[in-house]
Structure 1
Amino acid sequence: MATSNNWTKEQAKLAFHLYCQLPFGKLHKGNREVIRLAQAIGRTPSAVAMKLVNFASLDPAITSTGRKGLDGASSLDREVWAEFHSDWERLAVECEMLRREIDPTQIADEADELLVPEDFIGETRRVVTEQRIKQSFFRRAVLSSYGGRCCMSGVSESRLLIASHIVPWCKDKQNRLNPSNGLCLSAIHDRAFDKGLITLSDDFKVIVSEVLKRREDVLVQTVFLPLDGRAIALPERFAPDPVFIARHRSEEFVDNRKAA
């Protein structure tokens, strides 16, 4: 990809795409993915790392804690930030396809979930590929934001972690891939949240349903009841949107559904 002193919009999009998927503490020039993107777009690792930190300076979840990045975000950075937030699905797929185009060797390094069976052809192959790209982007963005730990239990075994949607996938197409519509949860906490057996308050404290409180199961008593009223661990970036939290509480939480 040809380059000049000024970043192109495509380069900035690819940088933001990577920013979303790397833990905040790994936005540096020595990171393997930073180096690889820099080589692909004709920039130095230092320049790419600086661009990532500039994007961090636009993230309220980061700036609210006093970590202001380099305060060097450009008008192009702001434009890319806004464009992603208005259409996560399109841009996640667009950037992944562009990344593969400029760095074909990276396809061999993809995780198994991105691989599509060889007997899938044509439109079916395209749809499955895009679906897996979207799932992978959302998972990486959410898990990296939460430091690879369940925000309720602290579990850090990646094979037990789910990038859980706050507002269900089927109910809000625009925010399906929005990391602020995600929580990093263990499989059992994800299941309980998905079924509306637990939810969150406006100040991000766990609310356990009366359904669970009435259960005498040892697992419920030891895993879920101690969470009631406890604040979740908030992510380093892409904090859960209070609007999505309120929707989950009003539309998915079983206590409120019964009352309705």
Structure 2
Amino acid sequence: MAARKNWTRHELLILLNVYHKLRFGQMHERQPTVITLAKKLERTAGSVAMKLGNLASLDPALKLRGIKGLSGASKLDEIMWQEFHGHLDETVPASEAALRELMKAGPDDTVEVPTKQGIHVIKAPPSGPTTAVKPQKIRLGHDYFQNAVVNNFAGRCGVTQLGIRGLLVASHILPWSTHESERLNVRNGLCLSRLHDAAFDRHLISFDDNLRLLLSKRLRSELPQRAVQENFAAYEGQTLELPTDSVLPDLAFMAEHRVKFMKM
């Protein structure tokens, strides 16, 4: 392993990307994602974990939950934190591209960060000429947001606790199409099953200031349909489930979502 060396801006860009895909309690040297990243950066897992802890000390979302990171954040850490979060529309795609390069991912491959397995590359299947391709910047942003939000909810739907990753969606509280500055903000995301994501997107469900599930009048009018009863009414009033070291959804964003929900 290489001797101790100063962190570069490029390395911190990658680290900030992965930082938002881990919860605070996962930022330790035995965590598979930390180990994978350390090997790729030719650093020790302990040094990567410590730097993640330094970054955590700069995170206002963790401070809201009474969580403190490690002291000793450098001036460059502070500068990179401000640059990253001040221009998410530019820095997130750049950081996702840097992570993909580090992992030697092909242009159509998927880089996933399921925290129990570490970072891994899923090779893209052969595609025909009719395959739709998103602009690279948008795709990179989506990939980052999906991993960060799903991992913030410990890989489970916040309503049902469904834990099948392929059936989970990082739902935007404030829509992607109308709130450009919040598109990649983890606090603008909920991890929901595909069914509950569709209902949330259409304002058929929402959450109150205590993050308890609300059902719209339109959805309640479909009772006692079995599917509505079992998938929605059974969870009404239940608090959205997140780990204690997760970043909480922004309640102001949720209040804005409820404005349209109240009309349904």
**TM bin (shorter chain):** 0.7 to 0.9
| Per-residue CA distance 1:18-68 (angstroms, 9 max, x = gap) | 111234443222344433433444433211111112222333443444432
**Aligned 8 A contact 2:169 2:194 in 1:** yes
Map of 1:218 onto structure 2: 226
Cα distance between partner residues in 1 of 2:121 and 2:77:
27
* One of 207, 216, 221 as aligned partner of 1:200: 207
Q: What pairs with 1:26-105 in structure 2 (closer than 5 Å)?
A: 26-101=26-101, 103=102, 105=104
Cα distance between partner residues in 2 of 1:96 and 1:154:
28
Query: Quick check: 1:243 aligned with 2:242?
Result: no
Size of the alignment, in residue pairs?
248
Q: Where does structure 2 lack aligned partners over 5 or more consecutive residues?
A: 110-119
In structure 2, give the amino acid aligned to 1:110: V
Map of 2:181 onto structure 1: 174
Runs of 4+ in 1 over 4 A off after TM superposition: 2-5, 106-109, 115-120
Q: What's the TM-score once normalised by structure 1's chain length?
A: 0.82
**Aligned 8 A contact 1:24 1:145 in 2:** no
Q: What's the TM-score once normalised by structure 2's chain length?
A: 0.81
Cα distance between partner residues in 1 of 2:206 and 2:87:
26
Q: Where does structure 1 lack aligned partners over 5 or more consecutive residues?
A: none
Cα distance between partner residues in 2 of 1:70 and 1:219:
47
User: SS state of the match for residue 234, structure 1?
Assistant: coil
Deviation at 1:202, TM superposition (A): 2.1
In structure 2, give the amino acid aligned to 1:199: S
- Alignment RMSD, CA only? 2.9
Deviation at 1:180, TM superposition (A): 0.8
User: SS state of the match for residue 185, structure 1?
Assistant: strand
Map of 1:17 onto structure 2: 17
**Aligned 8 A contact 1:208 1:227 in 2:** no
Cα distance between partner residues in 2 of 1:149 and 1:220:
20
Map of 1:6 onto structure 2: 6
